[in-house]
Amino acid sequence: MMNSPDRLTIIRERLTQALSPEKLEVIDDSQHHVGHAGASTGMGHYSVIIKSPQFLGKSLVESHRLIYQALGNLMETDIHALRITILQD
Amino acid sequence: MTIRQTIEKQLSENPVVLYMKGTAAFPQCGFSGKAVYLLRQCGVDFMAVNVLEDDDIRQGIKDYGNWPTIPQLYVNGQLIGGSDIMQQLYDSGELHKILSKAHA
């Protein structure tokens, strides 16, 4: 498990690599969840705001799946919760 | 019965199923709480499955829908999404439409 700044960097890297986003913002929300059951594991809460040509013509479920797939094992080891906002044109 | 069969049975017998952390009365996570709230706003009956009571279901539902997070909303056996998608569909009025078809 990584520390928080490293996690943000690797989340950005993986999403950039997989989805070539036109816009990407990754926010660490973990401090808002201190004391909550999921926070005690040391895993983080994050928000992703993203726009990518790869989402064109895809359903919301398919688009979110692409994000989860890009993050891969981080969803098991480092990310407790992920809020996803997909920006449209 | 395998976990997959258990899930298939839940989905075939219930038009609206929410896999969540905690119960509808006492959600154990903010995202699950939001999902319950949105379904209540739409005024539909739904089956809530508390994944915290059963580790096999908790992992099984992630594998079943190829979706790594909880909550998950299923309508007529189809994965609609997690709480972010539910919120987006609610805001656009689409969630009402999807749910009204489920109970038709």
Identify the residue among B20, B21, B29, B64 best suited for mutation to test binding to A, counting A beta carbons within 10 A and taking the highest: B29
Residue A37 has what pLDDT? 57
- Taking contacts as CB-CB distances below 8 angstroms, the residues of chain B near A83 are 84
**Is domain A4-86 annotated with CATH 3.30.300.90?**
yes
Residues of B in contact with A68 (CB under 8 A): 67-69
Q: Which amino acid is at A49?
A: I
Give me B2's structure tokens: 């395998």
Domain boundaries, chain A: 4-86
Structural domain boundaries, residue B40: 3-102
Of B29, B66, B88, the CB nearest to A60: B88
CA distance B78 to A9: 34
pLDDT at A31: 78
| Tally of domains in chain B | 1
User: Inter-chain contact B69–A85, Cβ cutoff 8 Å?
Assistant: no
Given a cut of 80, whether residue B103 has pLDDT beyond it is no
CA distance A52 to A13: 14
Which residue from A16, A46, A17, A19 is spatially nearest to A33, judged by alpha carbons? Answer: A46
- Round to whole Å and give the CA distance between A3 and B62: 26
Please name which of B68, B91, B90 lies closest in space to residue A68, comparing C-alpha atoms: B68
Name the pairing type of β-strands B47-50 and B72-75. Answer: unpaired
- CATH code of residue B25: 3.40.30.10
Q: pLDDT category, A3, cuts 50, 70, 90?
A: confident
| ipTM of this predicted structure | 0.88
